Structure 1
Amino acid sequence: MKQNKASHLLDKFLAAQKAGKEIYFDADEIDDILERLEDREDYTHYEAILSLGLRLHPGSTELRIRQCKLLIYKEEFNQALDLVDSISDAAHLELDLLRLECYCALDQYHKVVSYIEAHLNDDREELEEVFEYLAPIISDMDMNEETSDFIQRGLKIFPNNMILKDELCLHLEAIGDIDGAIKICNELIDKNPYSVDYWFMLGRLYSMSADYEKAIEAFDFALTCDDSDIELKILKAYCLYMNDNFEKAIEVYSDIIDTDNSLRDRITPLLAECYIKQEKYEEAYRLLKKHLSEKETNSVEDISTFLNFIRCCMETERETEATVILNKALELYPDNIRLLSILAIKYTEDGKDKEAKEITEKLFRLIDEANDSLVDNAESLFQTAQYLNLKNDIREALKYYLKILNIDPKMPLITMYIAMAYLSLGDIEAFNKYYNLTPQEELADFFNKSGIDLDDLLRNLESKHIEPENLTKEYLKNKGHRN
């Protein structure tokens, strides 16, 4: 009834505004209209109606409070604080809450602490409301020390408050204490075992700690509480994918598309990745070809979609199509490290040594200037280096290996690849240098997988009777070692 009345009042205001006429409402009617607009999150006429109300009823505490909220929403905190302090109703809890919110925004947390300490013996329900109101606000302001202090103060007084524990869980997640967040989340679930939000939160936390089995289990519990949350299903499918359960991930992704076809564009590339992991390149190729063909010619697509489609084309012997999509991707992402790495390989295959050298120089320059993930860049360069090595272009491969060492010195076996490249070039001194830099456990792994007899290699080196050009071939021929 109240909402219907507010809607009717709003219609009267809009009609008067359209006719250019002034209209009268009492303060409560203005407040009802504004409350209705807030509920609908429709702020189109909010300021105009509030302005009218303040002209008609300049002394209304409720309307002035709404004016304070509007100023805070517009981040005009000093003005909001001045207005709060000018309102004479000193015993108004809502005014206290707004004042404390302004203190936080103006980096005056010490005043919040003073308020809490001054009201420890006052109404407990009102004090608890202060903590519940302010905790998420402080947390959203990225005030880590203050957030931790405020939540701990609140839990010391109200140890069973679920809102504060919820905020503590989110805060621990934000500062990277995932184990601590999981512990608190389990406490929340103990109190409310049928909360889809808590189970979803627990699954997300486990996924962040790469414990995908437990994440999937938590998501399954969440889905028993509410099976309509699409984001939950997407994250579950991701965890299944990360847990190498590709068949089940395909089932979940397919179910999402069947449930909501509007998500097809978003889900199709994820579904294709599952098929690629199963080496079902033809299925992935068909999915991605249809997906890309439905896009506008110059529409921006996630780079991984292009990369996966190029890989599917190569794996299914569609080299011409791979070249076409590579060129299209390069038009959209001309400085992408992974695309340029593929282009360098293509030029090498085509015998275009000059172009390959130019792309390599561009790659290295971009990496030196890059602000994105160096590890991702190193992985892209590594794939190119391995290809060049397989093609017996050892000198070019070595350039890549050395660049990788520079940007990601912790990459497993990188010093051993450099050592073997130098060995293939007959540089025994450089081989010894990088061989000795390789950790013993990595050496054992390398020679175990490569099929090279370490003792025989060392004897040949000592006698200088070596045939270096063939030493890495068996290792690199293994498909699993080229990725």
Structure 2
Amino acid sequence: MADGQAGGFLDADELTDIAEYYRAIGKNEEADEVAEYTLSIFPGATGPLAFKARLALLIEDNPKKADELAEQIADKTDLDYFYLKAEILLATYRAEEANDFLEETFSNAVDEDDREDYILDAALLFADYNEIDYAEHWTRRSTLTDDNDYKELQGRILKGHGKYAESEKIFNELLDANPYAGPYWNQLAQNQFLRNNIQASIDSSEFAIAINPNDDEALLNKANGLFSLGNYDEALKYYMRYKEISPSSDTSLIDVTIGHLYLLKNDIAKALQYYQESVRKSKDMEATFIHIAISVFDNGYVEFAYRLFSAYLSSMDEQWTFGYAYLARCCYELDKEAEYELWLKIAVGRNPEECAEVLSDLYPEGTMPEDYPGIPVIFPSQREQPGTPFPGEDSLA
């Protein structure tokens, strides 16, 4: 009776819904209290244990604790147990293992009546972690092509493959049938943003916010749109609102963005405050410093950016792809020819798209990034001031 009803009282799933509600409005202490209370009545219940495990995984960044909580679930044939185990693998960058686990479970432990739901749930899980190829693999197996979850997955897969107009069409059709679905508005806003239709993206975000003023995804979408239009003061308001309703989340990249905005406004003290806050909150300090380096580079502080990139890119593993083209550009701007060639080769190998974005103006128009290393560039030979010193940079050392 772990997930059943206790007389006339709420059952485990209903109590877990209350915990989820508290979590959604940022009351994490109350959410945890409800989950613990639920477990005191229904020990081993799937709902509250899965809830606590996901908090451990996503908020505490503690996959070991999440797995220990998952193993306390009494019913290990529950589909939510399978999804949780797969999510722990996905959250620790083991997508192939997650897929193998779900495939094995599908073959050996899922009843025929549950298979269609399982297929779409597996696809949605991969889509949530931006594992688009695996999401597509599972979606292709579904026969529920008229189901809204299937259509949503198709839209997300198309977006993941860069087919924004086709994805946008699907979400418009879904919204025609259900105009009060905030997640559809958010997906539409993201497609519009990626197509550089920024005002339409903001408008779509506003529909989602009207439906749910605490929709964190919608607030972030609108903030990004306002930022892109150069409306920095309004963008700051929405980034701050996003932070307010995500008190336990890792908002380090949002703090970097806020710091960037203050730097654009030439408020050095505020910029430093948020850069420092981003480092304090970060679950990955090296990655956060690289994002700060990109921010200060974009604001013209080339020497400071060079020092940050040099310090932290060298410690990243081979899976890391961002920042190398920026470091090459710093070397170019600072007349470091040998270092430029070194980092250029790494950048082209790791992220040719970033190379095209950051370095294309140094090469003949139409040159492909993979051809950059074989083409000489003309380095700046004389500069009155190679880079602008960044006030207070010692506080980030």
Determine if the TM-score, normalized by the shorter chain, exceeds 0.5: yes
Aligned twin of 1:341: 329
Amino acid in the other structure paired with 1:37: T
Counterpart of 1:179 (choices 159, 162, 165) is 165
8 Å CA contact retained: 2:189, 2:204: yes
Q: What is the letter of the counterpart of residue 182 of structure 1? A: E
Instruction: Indicate yes or no: 2:272 matched with 1:289.
Output: yes
Residue 2 of structure 1: aligned partner: 5
Q: 2:134 aligns with which of 116, 137, 142?
A: 142
Partner of 1:467 in structure 2? none
Amino acid at match of 1:2: Q
Alignment of 1:366-445 (within 5 A): 366-367=346-347, 370-381=348-359, 401=363, 405=367, 407=369
From 219, 225, 236, the counterpart of 1:233:
219
Distance 1:69 1:197, change over 3 A: closer
Find 2:292's aligned residue among 298, 302, 305. 305
Q: 1:40 to 1:146 in 2, by over 3 A?
A: closer
Q: Which amino acid aligns with 1:135?
A: L
Instruction: Evaluate the alpha carbon distance shift between residue 345 and residue 237 of structure 1 in structure 2; reply closer, same or farther with a 3 A threshold.
Output: same
Please give the alpha-carbon distance, in whole angstroms, between the structure 2 residues aligned to 1:221 and 1:206: 14
In structure 2, what is the Cα distance between the partners aligned to 1:179 and 1:361?
A: 38
Q: Give the TM-score normalised by the residue count of structure 1.
A: 0.48
- The correspondence of residues 38-77 of structure 1 with structure 2, limited to 5 A, is 38-41=47-50, 44=68, 50=74, 65-66=77-78, 75=101
Q: Show CA shifts across 1:366-417 (max 9, x none).
A: 34xx43322422454467x5xxxxxxxxxxxxxxx3699452789xxxx9x9
One-letter code of the match for 1:97? D
Distance in 2 (alpha carbons) for counterparts of 1:234 and 1:79: 36
**Residue pair 2:49, 2:73 contacting (<8 A) in 1 also:** no
Shift of residue 236, structure 1, vs aligned partner:
1.4
Q: Which residue of 1 aligns with 2:254?
A: 267
Judge conservation of contact 1:189–1:198 (CA < 8 Å) in 2: yes
Could you tell me which runs of 5 or more consecutive residues in structure 1 were left unpaired when the two chains were aligned.
8-31, 51-62, 85-93, 101-129, 315-321, 349-355, 386-400, 422-483
Within 2, Cα distance between the matches of 1:69 and 1:225? 31
Q: 2:27 corresponds to which residue?
A: none
Q: 2:261 touches 2:271 (CA, 8 Å); kept in 1? A: no
CA distance in 1, matches of 2:241, 2:325: 34
Contact 2:324-2:344 at 8 Å conserved across structures = no
Distance 2:360 2:163 in 1: 33
Deviation at 1:190, TM superposition (A): 2.2
Deviation for aligned residue 1:271: 2.8
- The Cα of 1:302 is off from its aligned counterpart by 4.2
TM-score, scaled to structure 2:
0.57
Q: Percent identity?
A: 14
Counting only pairs closer than 5 Å after superposition, residues 155-174 of structure 1 correspond to structure 2 as 155=145, 159=146, 161-174=147-160
Aligned residue number for residue 95 of structure 1: 111
Flag the 1:257–1:47 CA change in 2: closer, same or farther, 3 A.
Answer: closer
Q: For residues 302 and 373 of structure 1, what CA distance do their matches in structure 2 show?
A: 19
- Cα pair 2:293 2:304 within 8 Å, conserved: no
1:212-264 CA deviation, whole Å, 9 max, x = no partner?
22111110000000011223211211122223433432332244456667776
Matched with 1:37 is: 46
Specify the code of the residue in structure 2 equivalent to 1:270: T
Cα distance in structure 2, aligned partners of 1:363 and 1:49? 49
Q: Secondary structure at the match of 1:2?
A: coil
In the alignment, residue 267 of structure 1 is paired with which amino acid?
I
* More helix, by proportion: 1
CA contact (8 A) 1:289 1:309 kept: no
CA distance in 2, matches of 1:67, 1:229: 27
Measure the CA separation in 1 of the matches of 2:242 and 2:83.
Answer: 42
Counterparts of 1:67 and 1:189, CA distance in 2: 29
* 1:69 positional shift: 6.7
Who is 1:188 aligned against? 174
Q: Which amino acid aligns with 1:332?
A: Y
* SS of equivalent residue, structure 1 residue 150: coil
Distance 2:84 2:244 in 1: 44
* Amino acid in structure 2 at the alignment position of 1:243: L
Contact 2:258 2:271 in 1 (8 A): no
Unaligned runs of 5+ in 2: 13-41, 54-66, 87-100, 127-132, 315-322, 379-397
Displacement of 1:81 in angstroms is 4.4
Residues 97, 134 of structure 1: 8 Å contact kept: no
The verdict on how the C-alpha distance between 1:358 and 1:269 changes in structure 2, with shifts beyond 3 A counting, is same
> 1:264 and 1:222 mapped to 2: Cα distance?
21
When residues 311 and 81 of structure 1 are mapped into structure 2, their CA distance, relative to the original with a 3 A threshold, is closer
| Alpha-carbon spacing, 1:380–1:183, altered in 2? closer, same or farther (3 Å) | closer
Q: More relative contact order in 1 or in 2 (CA 8 Å, sep 6+)?
A: 2
Shift of 1:195: 1.9
In structure 2, what is the Cα distance between the partners aligned to 1:245 and 1:357?
38
* Superposed displacement of residue 198, structure 1: 1.9
Aligned CA-pair RMSD: 4.5
The secondary structure found in structure 2 opposite 1:330 is helix
**How many matched pairs?**
292
Check conservation: 2:175, 2:185, Cα contact below 8 A: yes
